[in-house]
Amino acid sequence: MNDRLLRALRREPVDCTPVWFMRQAGRYMAEYRAIRSKYTLLEICDRPEVTAEVTLQPVRLGVDACILFADILLPLAPMGCPFSFEKGEGPVLHKPIVKASDVDELRLIDPRESLSHVLEGVRLSKRELAGKLPLIGFAGAPFTLASYLLEGGKSAHFLKTKRFMIEHPEAWEKLMVKLSTVVADLLIAQIDAGADVVQLFDSWVGQLSPHDYTTYVLPHVQGIFEKLQARNVPTIHFGTGTATLLEHMATCKSSAVGLDWRMPFAKGWETIGHEKAVQGNLDPCMLFAPPEKLFAAADRILAEAGGRNGHVFNVGHGILPETDPGVVKALVDHVHERSKR
Ligand code: CP3
């Protein structure tokens, strides 16, 4: 097995820096678009054999891991909040949470039953990877999931989410407990189905002040990583816009923290502490720059990582749909070559 990713996440020496990309399976790849012309996103996620096929598509780019093809919103439907993906709008929740008592209606699910197709997708992807590359499982973090439940879709200011958090602290607490329970169970079930690593996506948490993060969110995320300790697989804690939250995120028992490009890499790692691994942090827009500028940006990140054990190269947020897969492959090769120990 190519175990660079696992070794880096455990801060063990590697032959070169491992690379994978958030959203590495997706619309920028022609072979993904071919599948999407036959199935909707949710149909791909419902069919384990299609899930596995899409999960493995980025292998040809030379990446050091595959990430399960799924979506952070999948647990919300069986919990009682169905949603769909509308063209140009992103996710739309059909019954967003509006009042405090709506939280009581949310069902606590057993992912092994309600999301058995996702777990079958993990098992099939593992089988098809045949031990060549590690498989990353994932889930959305409670704040980011709550933001979709409360906003009903994407949001600019997260006003409904923040109002609910401040006006209904008891219902917010119940919501966080329910979501954290489901998320931890789902991640553990993915590990038991074969995931070698799991990543928690708290994509929108950077919207919060450090005070509100530590008061309303952090204890629940700490609890999730605490539960994951029992399985002893590496874990990644990712968010964006987290420069002022990193010191608090670092108190969670994750193996690694994901950094976006707004935080200089070396400063970010110092803030997190060198006893954790770090993932990041190229601006995904740099994949549109002329090759010499793209490679220079990658080299700056590698220089800031300074050859220290525990760096996983990635973008600071998902690959954009307009990206050229040829550039992605060239970047993977460049990082591997430049980081050779
Ligand atoms: O390759 C991978 O990274 C695995 C697949 C993956 C998807 N969603 C498939 C998907 C992953 C890891 C996710 C996570 C996810 N989903 C997040 C966290 C990561 C992040 O980007 O911050 C979030 C916030 C979501 C919710 C979500 N799903 C949104 C906001 C959208 C619409 C965005 C858009 O570009 O239209 C989705 C849809 C979605 N999930 C797509 C993919 C490939 C694109 C739609 C499509 O193919 O039709």
* 71 among known catalytic residues: yes
Cis peptide before 281 (omega within 30 of 0): yes
CATH of 4-338, one of 3.30.450.90, 3.20.20.210, 3.40.720.10, 3.30.465.10: 3.20.20.210
Question: Quick check: is 39 catalytic?
Answer: no
Query: What number is the average pLDDT over the span 96-118?
Result: 98
Is 47 in the active site? no
Q: Considering only CA atoms, which residue is closest to atom 33 of ligand 1?
A: 90
Question: pTM, whole model, 2 decimals?
Answer: 0.97
- 341: annotated active-site residue: no
The encoded tokens of residue 219 equal: 């204890």
The token duo for 308 is 């220290």
pLDDT confidence tier of residue 88, bands split at 50, 70 and 90: confident
With cut-offs at 50, 70 and 90, classify the pLDDT of residue 330.
very high
In the beta sheet, which residues pair with residue 86? Answer: 90
Determine the distance separating the centroid of ligand 1 and the alpha carbon of 91, expressed in angstroms.
Answer: 9
Instruction: Please report, rounded to a whole number, the percentage of residues in the chain having pLDDT higher than 90.
Output: 99
Residue 89 pLDDT level (bands cut at 50, 70, 90)? confident
CB 31 within 8 A of CB 38: no
What's the 90 CA to ligand 1 centre distance in angstroms? 9
Is the CB–ligand 1 distance for residue 51 below 6 Å?
Answer: no
* Nearest atom (ligand 1) to Cα of 36: 47
Contact 206, 79 (CB under 8 A): no
Is pLDDT of 87 > 90? no
Going by CA atoms, what residue is nearest to atom 17 of ligand 1?
72
Mean pLDDT of 226-251: 98
Taking residues 159-166, report their average pLDDT: 98
Work out the angle at residue 151's Cα, subtended by the Cα atoms of residues 147 and 156, and round it to the nearest 5 degrees. Answer: 85
The DSSP output letter for 316 is S
Instruction: Assess whether pLDDT exceeds 90 at residue 184.
Output: yes
Instruction: Give me the percent of the chain exceeding a pLDDT of 70.
Output: 100
Does any ligand 1 atom lie closer than 6 A to the CB of residue 23?
yes
Which band of pLDDT confidence, cut at 50, 70 and 90, is reported for residue 74? very high
- Computed over every residue of the chain, the mean pLDDT equals 98
What digits encode the pLDDT tens for the residues 283-318?
Answer: 999 999 999 999 999 999 999 999 999 999 999 999
Q: What is the mean pLDDT of the segment spanning 33-55? A: 98
Domain range list for the chain = 4-338
pLDDT, tens digit, 9 for 90 and up, residues 140-151? 999 999 999 999
The closest of 336, 240, 327 to 279, measured between CA atoms, is: 240
Average pLDDT over residues 11-30: 98
User: Residue 88: left (phi > 0), alpha (psi -120 to 50), or beta?
Assistant: left
Residue 203 near ligand 1, beta carbon < 6 Å: yes
